[in-house]
Chain A
Amino acid sequence: MQITSYISVAYLAVFLPAALLLYTIVPKKVRPFVLLAAGFTFFWFISEFLIAYLLISILSIYLIGLWLEKLKGKRAAALSAAADKEEKKRIKKQNQTRQLLVVLLGVLINIGILAVLKYSPFFFTNINLIMRLTNAKAGVEVPQFLTPIGISFYSLQAVSYLHDVYKDKIKADRNLARVALYMSFFPVLMEGPICRYSDTAQALYSGERLHYKNLTFGAQRIAFGIFKKIVIADRLNIFVTTIFKDYEAFDYDGGLILLGAILYTVELYMEFSGTIDVVIGSAEMFGVRVPENFRQPFFSKSITEFWQRWHITLGTWFRDYIFYPVTMSKPMKKLTKSARKKLGRHYGPMPASIIAFFCVWFCNGLWHGAGWQFILFGMYHFVLISLGSLILPLSNVVLDKLKIDRNKFPYKLFTILRTGLLVCIGEMFFNSRGVKDSMHMLKRILTTFTIKSWFDGSVFSLGLDPYDVLILVIAVAVVFTIGIIKEKGKSPRELIAARPIFVRWPLYIALVVGIIVFGAYGAGYIPIDPIYANF
């Protein structure tokens, strides 16, 4: 059996039910091992023998965690035996350096594997390019590696475990099976969310029995995820692929290219958040709550807010393990203190933040892929977020002068639409074949944009017929309505569950029938491959 996606018959009709069945029939103590076996089996189905890399990561963080714990124990013993303050200071410093070296070794193993497998071809290709530019005759051979699916996700989980042990946020786990389960829980293996040890490890290992509410709520969430992917994302795929692949050959105008960028953003959201719905729903069935990855991102009023609502666990990972460690490092704190004296309240923390933003967005871009277009994607966000912070005082003055109320609906709507447009441009870079294509497409939008091509029937020649457009409008409206309910702090599933049975069941049936009847599968459609699984 091969599993290519969470939204596949192999996963939904075979793997998940089999795992649930096995989980429920075995005694409580055995259940964590069923989940562990399911995780390894799942990994085997998606990446076969490359499972060796996952095992190295698990073993490395387990052993290094214990090593750190041992050093911490030694430090405590030495401190209690120390004669004076000076000696204590010396012990602390010496032990701290050792711990730092040990944790760096762990990070090096895990990020090293990721770097070699995923980035070395990109690195050597660029070396060759530079050598060619300098007319050097010799070139280096570009290595090619098979990369396990999900490595970008579980490697970040590994680093967070090491960091959290090092910083005393958690205790190193002596139970290898629990560490292994934290790293290989099958619903999150391929596309996240990126979990922290403190989020999931205990719940995964507790072997709680299955509950009716968890099963039904999980199933509903899964069905909603399938709806987003099959009815919306797969339907948009031909149009988006055509625009991005052939934008030059067919000389599409800026209007159609921008429409392609907008619809790609919708497609990406429906595909990724739909898959995450399936992931979270699957975990919920086992009674495990994994962190949410999306919170209605298209209601964001700024790019910063967008990244607090889109791929949340990646954003918080970069915040906790790059942004704060950089801004809170000794030299940066010093910089902030002196800058506050010279530049004042708003601009004081800016120099340190901009340096940290650069590190975050460079890594964020690279994390998404080994290509210059991904670095461009990261730098685009770095510039937008830095500029946003820099011009905030000025824009507040202008808004006050123009007597524009920032809390009124028209202004909020303007900021939401502005953010949406900027996000779509960023995603256009992200989906392009390279930086050259990105720039061409942007140029076309800026120089040849007309809204006419949205309505003159051009759309219907690019893989969407009027029937598709009608279904898309209705389906997006359904997702949007659910988003508004969530935005108001209510749970759509709880609201539906509180309704009488003759309201509840028609809604469930409508969702399933909606997927079967309006799903974009079969002749005339090409389902998208899971986009984030390749990262």
Chain B
Amino acid sequence: MDRLIEILEDIQPDADYETCTTLIDDHILGSLQIISLVAEIEDEFDITIPTVEIKPENFNSAKSLMAMIERLEDE
């Protein structure tokens, strides 16, 4: 989780990733940040994120992102 928060803070520093659950809904992460985020996560966690996973439910909070990463790691 710490690695993910570090990536998020590097991409968009202006958010509290421990508590925020509306990263997409409140436009804290826009499409440009999502592109960077996917590239960094894939590198860091050695997974491939398919485009169908790019949806608000997965990207709205650090927790939901982590859950997606763990799920993709298992596949």
A residues near B, CB below 8 A? 164, 167-169, 304, 319-320, 323-325, 327-328, 333, 336-337, 340, 345-346, 348-350, 352-353, 389
Asked whether A349 lies within 8 Å of B35 as measured between CB atoms, the reply is yes
Asked whether A353 lies within 8 Å of B39 as measured between CB atoms, the reply is no
Asked whether A333 lies within 8 Å of B42 as measured between CB atoms, the reply is yes
**Which of A319, A325, A333 has the most CB atoms of chain B within a 10 A radius of its CB?**
A333
With known contacts A169-B52, A328-B54, A349–B32 Cβ distance under 8 A:
yes
Q: How far is the CA of A328 from the CA of B36 in the complex (A)?
A: 10
Interface residues of B in 23-68 (CB under 8 A from A): 30-33, 35-36, 38-40, 42-43, 49-52, 54
Asked whether B31 lies within 8 Å of A323 as measured between CB atoms, the reply is yes
User: Chain B residues near A169 (CB, 8 Å)?
Assistant: 52
Q: Is B72 an interface residue (CB 8 A)?
A: no
With known contacts A319-B31, A345-B11, A353-B31, A168–B52 Cβ distance under 8 A:
yes
Q: How far is the CA of A333 from the CA of B43 in the complex (A)?
A: 10
B residues near A, CB below 8 A? 10-11, 30-33, 35-36, 38-40, 42-43, 49-52, 54
Interchain CB contact (< 8 A) of A353 among B32, B40, B43, B49 = B32
Asked whether A348 lies within 8 Å of B36 as measured between CB atoms, the reply is yes
The prevalent SS among residues of A at the interface is helix
**Within the complex, what minimum Cβ distance (angstroms) separates B53 from chain A?**
9
Which 6 A-B pairs rank lowest in CB-CB distance, beginning with the nearest? Answer: A349-B35, A167-B52, A336-B39, A324-B51, A349-B36, A349-B32
User: Chain B residues near A389 (CB, 8 Å)?
Assistant: 32
With known contacts A333-B42, A345-B10, A345-B11, A352–B35 Cβ distance under 8 A:
yes
Asked whether A345 lies within 8 Å of B35 as measured between CB atoms, the reply is no
Closest to B13 in A: A345
Q: How far is the CA of A319 from the CA of B52 in the complex (A)?
A: 12
Q: How far is the CA of A324 from the CA of B55 in the complex (A)?
A: 11
Asked whether A353 lies within 8 Å of B35 as measured between CB atoms, the reply is yes
User: Chain B residues near A345 (CB, 8 Å)?
Assistant: 10-11, 36
| Chain A to chain B contacts (Cβ below 8 Å), 25 pairs | A164-B52, A167-B50, A167-B51, A167-B52, A168-B52, A304-B30, A320-B51, A323-B31, A324-B51, A324-B54, A325-B51, A328-B35, A328-B38, A328-B51, A333-B39, A336-B36, A336-B39, A340-B39, A348-B36, A349-B32, A349-B35, A350-B32, A352-B35, A353-B35, A389-B32
User: Chain A residues near B30 (CB, 8 Å)?
Assistant: 304
**Within the complex, what minimum Cβ distance (angstroms) separates B11 from chain A?**
6
User: Chain A residues near B42 (CB, 8 Å)?
Assistant: 333
Interchain CB contact (< 8 A) of B38 among A164, A323, A333 = A333
User: Chain B residues near A328 (CB, 8 Å)?
Assistant: 35, 38, 49-51, 54
Closest to A329 in B: B51
User: Chain A residues near B43 (CB, 8 Å)?
Assistant: 337
User: Chain B residues near A337 (CB, 8 Å)?
Assistant: 39-40, 43
Closest to B49 in A: A328
User: Chain A residues near B40 (CB, 8 Å)?
Assistant: 337, 340
